[in-house]
Amino acid sequence: MAKRRPLVSTKPAQWALFLEALAATGNVSEACRQAKLHRQTVYHRRHNYESFALLWQEAEDIAADALEAEARRRAIEGWDEPVFYQGVQTGVIRKYSDALLQTLLKGWRPERYKDRQQVDFSGSFKADVQVYRIPDNGRD
């Protein structure tokens, strides 16, 4: 008979800490570590309690909003990247991310900025296939 793990007792404060950490990090493992909860325990609770699942989704939405805000900041406001000469910082260059800007535009206005690739699969297809046998040095 398999040995059962003892039931882990959890306090409301642990669940609140888990959700706060999930909102801050967007990482379930890190949120579990901070709240001192097992991953299996939190996934079980999410699966079995709709109210907790909704709070989990809200925490993930908060984390995603933070990522989007940072992507927007980097795309529009940019960041200072240090410039070094012979091992000494001599200044900074303001950098911006065109890739992040494109991604944000595609997300906010996909009808206008989406990648437009159309593949037509209509019609017929015929392929001439020839099979060649490779000799195996007389071991046949």
pLDDT of residue 129: 73
Between CA 96 and CA 90 the distance in angstroms is: 20
pTM of the predicted structure, to 2 decimals: 0.67
Query: Would you write out the chain's pLDDT as a tens digit for each of its 140 residues?
Result: 555 554 456 799 999 999 999 999 999 999 999 999 999 999 999 999 999 999 999 999 999 999 999 999 999 999 999 999 999 999 999 999 999 999 999 998 989 988 877 777 777 767 777 777 777 776 65
Nearest 5°: CA angle at 18, between 69 and 16?
Answer: 100
Amino acid identity of residue 100, one-letter, is: L
Between CA 132 and CA 19 the distance in angstroms is: 61
pLDDT of residue 75: 95
Which structure tokens are listed for 41?
A: 């325990």
- Per DSSP, what are the bridge partners of residue 85? 88
pLDDT of residue 128: 75
pLDDT of residue 116: 76
pLDDT of residue 9: 60
Between CA 48 and CA 42 the distance in angstroms is: 10
